Amino acid sequence: MNTKRLFIISAILIGIGLFAFFYGLLGQNPQRAWQAYLINFLMWSGIAQGALLFSTIMHTTRARWSGAMSRAAESFSAFFPISFILFLLLFLGKDHLFPWLHLDLHGKEVWLNLPLLFARDLLGLVILYGFGFAYLYYALGARIGKLPPQGKIHALLHRHWIGVDPGRCRSRQSTFSILYMLAFALVLSLIGYDLVMSMDPHWYSTLFGAYTFVKAFYIGLGGLIILAWLLYLKADNRFGLVPSDFHDVGKLFFAFCLVWADFFYVQLVVIWYGNIPELTGYIIERTATPPWNTLAWIVFSVCFILPFLILLNKKVKTMPRVMIPLCSIVIAGIWLEHLLLLGPELSPDAAALPLNLADGLISLGFSGLLLAAVAFFLNLFPAPGRVEPRGVMG
pLDDT digits (tens, 9 = 90+) for 97-148: 999 988 888 888 899 999 999 999 999 999 999 999 999 988 887 776 555 5
pLDDT at 393 over 50: no
Would you say residue 317 lies in a domain? yes
Amino acid identity for residue 27 in this structure:
G
Would you say residue 35 lies in a domain? yes
Amino acid identity for residue 377 in this structure:
F
Output the pLDDT for position 8.
92
Output the pLDDT for position 347.
86
Output the pLDDT for position 390.
39
Would you say residue 299 lies in a domain? yes
Q: For the chain, give me the number of helices (H) and strands (E)? A: 15, 0
Output the pLDDT for position 64.
82
Residue 157: enclosing H or E segment and its boundaries? helix 152-161
Output the pLDDT for position 148.
53
DSSP E strands in the chain: the ranges are none
Would you say residue 297 lies in a domain? yes
What is the mean predicted confidence (pLDDT) over 147-168?
60
Output the pLDDT for position 72.
92
Percent of the chain with pLDDT over 90: 64
pLDDT at 389 over 50: no
Output the pLDDT for position 253.
97
Output the pLDDT for position 28.
86
| Mean pLDDT of the residues in the chain | 88
* Residue 311: CB atoms within 10 Å: 20
State CA 299 to chain mean position distance: 17
pLDDT at 273 over 90: no
What is the mean predicted confidence (pLDDT) over 171-183?
95
Output the pLDDT for position 164.
64
Contact in structure between 46 and 86 (CB atoms under 8 Å): no
Amino acid identity for residue 212 in this structure:
T
Q: Please tell me the total count of domains within the chain.
A: 1
Cis ω on the peptide bond leading into residue 243 (within 30° of 0)?
no
What is the mean predicted confidence (pLDDT) over 287-309?
94
Output the pLDDT for position 143.
72
* Residues in Cβ contact with 262 at an 8 Å cutoff, skipping those fewer than 6 apart: none
Output the pLDDT for position 152.
56
Output the pLDDT for position 391.
40
Output the pLDDT for position 374.
95
Output the pLDDT for position 3.
73
What is the mean predicted confidence (pLDDT) over 1-29?
90
The DSSP line for 291-356 is: THHHHHHHHHIIIIIHHHHHHTSSGGGG-HHHHHHHHHHHHHHHHHHHHHHHHHHHSTT-SS----
What is the mean predicted confidence (pLDDT) over 368-392?
71
Would you say residue 375 lies in a domain? yes
Let me know if 364 is exposed, middle or buried by CB neighbors in 10 A (0-12, 13-18, 19+).
middle
Range of the domain at 56: 3-380
Contact in structure between 50 and 223 (CB atoms under 8 Å): yes
Percent of the chain with pLDDT over 70: 89
Confidence of residue 351 (pLDDT cuts 50, 70, 90): confident
Would you say residue 387 lies in a domain? no
Confidence of residue 392 (pLDDT cuts 50, 70, 90): very low
How far is residue 4's CA from residue 15's CA, in Å, rounded to a whole number?
17
Would you say residue 393 lies in a domain? no
Output the pLDDT for position 156.
60
Confidence of residue 236 (pLDDT cuts 50, 70, 90): low
Would you say residue 388 lies in a domain? no
Cα radius of gyration rounded to whole Å, the chain: 21
